[in-house]
Amino acid sequence: MHKHSLRFVRWKAKLLHSVIHILSHLRLLLRWLFVSVITGGIVGLIGVAFVYGIQWATAVRTAHAWIPLTLPLGGLLIVWLYHITHDQKDRGTNMVLASIRSEAELPVQMAPLIFVSTIITHLSGGSAGREGAALQLGGSIGNQLGRLFRVTERDKRVLILCGMAAAFSAIFRTPIAAAIFAMEVVCVGEMHYAAFIPCTVASLSASWTAEKLGLPLTTYTVTNIPSFQLLTGGKILLLGICCAAVSVLFCILLHQSEKLLSRFLPNPYLRISAASGILLLLILLVGNQDYLGIGTPVIHAAIGGQTVWYAFFAKMIFTAVTLGGGFKGGEIVPSFFIGATFGCLFGQIAELSPSFCAAVGMTALFCGVTNCPLTSLVLSVELFGTEGLPYFLLAIAVSYLLSGYYGLYGEQRFLSSKYTDGHISHKTRK
């Protein structure tokens, strides 16, 4: 009888411990649900305002062909804004990534500065995207919410990831990829799983907010998707190899243009004025304004199977000069532009569906510049559907491997080797 009583007492103790364990985690879940919904809602509202601001700027610029002549004025205004706010050493998305490792504190003025300066860039005619700016916008807001809620330093880093996911989701309307991207981009080889629930809820909340305010989901129609065959698979593998090479070239151009312009023109006002002059010369050289701003019409045309042979390289040069000179904006949409136009060109040469190759090239090159294979795969599903998924997977895997340790963000760290089963620790190559 005594043994049975002892067993019963032990069983009760284990049961009580399990209940307390579950309740404590339930409390944690409820807390993160509350905080993440608020973060997603706030960032979603600001993200929608940001998208409409970019759309307004693009519409005004495209309606008046003379507006790119204001590039020097827009550039000087951006430099002046960062000067009067004492943020001349702004490192953009790299500062957000560093803050997640507690190596840097995000300034309060980061969100409004990147909001206004990116719209100025698009209005005057700079070649840049919006999602990279969204990461800065969301990360900064998440950081300020962490201060407001008086959370611990670790939880504040999770809120920064929440803000990044929410901003990406609201602006690009790919909520699943947005949640994964925020967890995957900081350290290659280490997912921030502690932020899984917060990023997921914040991303979905921001996407819902954006939908209610009139932003549709981003989808593309791809034609002539081939069935899986060895010959076609070999061509897609070759496309993945080429996308890796193009992604490395794009990253080198971005980083080196910034270094060269800073070295020869250390004064930021002179630097951005020189970059404006180069952009105006490039516009005259190509004879159109297709490579200014986001370039959405060109991306849609490429996925429709139409492009010019030099489009991908022209966008690389335009973007490198824009961002290297000091204009503000993102690098992700330019990578979509480059990947889609290069993939379309590859399809025309390889006698494979140019539309399908544009879609594959878009996600494979995105993987090459961000080193985020899981995000790239999910993104391919959200943008293009599941048909042809084995091809997307093949191209993404090849691009991830062969792009090496290059990337858009200098503060991105590699913790796992791409080539051997081992641990490493170094930042992105420049």
In the chain, helix, strand, coil percent, each to 5? Answer: 70, 5, 25
pLDDT of amino acid 194: 85
267 in helix, strand or coil?
A: coil
Place of tokens 């550039």: 75
pLDDT of amino acid 92: 66
Dihedral angle sign, alpha carbons of residues 184, 186, 189, 195: negative
pLDDT of amino acid 89: 67
Angle at alpha carbon of residue 311, lines to 381 and 121, rounded to 5°: 85
Separation between Cα atoms, residue 322 and residue 244, nearest integer Å: 23
Q: Is 252 exposed, middle or buried (0-12, 13-18, 19+ CB in 10 A)?
A: middle
Write down all domains in the chain, each with its CATH number in brackets.
Answer: 35-212 (1.10.3080.10), 230-427 (1.10.3080.10)
Q: Ramachandran region of residue 216, left (φ > 0), alpha (ψ -120 to 50) or beta?
A: beta
Instruction: Find, among 199, 191, 147, 212, the residue nearest to 40 by Cα.
Output: 199
> pTM of the full predicted structure?
0.91
| Structural contact between residues 204 and 175, judged by C-beta atoms closer than 8 angstroms | yes
Tell me phi and psi for residue 44, to 5 degrees.
-60, -45
pLDDT of amino acid 191: 85
- Averaged pLDDT, groups of 10, the chain, 430 residues long: 58 61 73 90 91 94 93 94 77 70 67 88 91 77 80 81 91 92 87 89 95 86 89 96 97 93 92 96 93 92 94 96 92 94 96 96 96 95 93 97 90 83 73
Pure H helices in 173-229: 175-184, 196-212
pLDDT of amino acid 1: 47
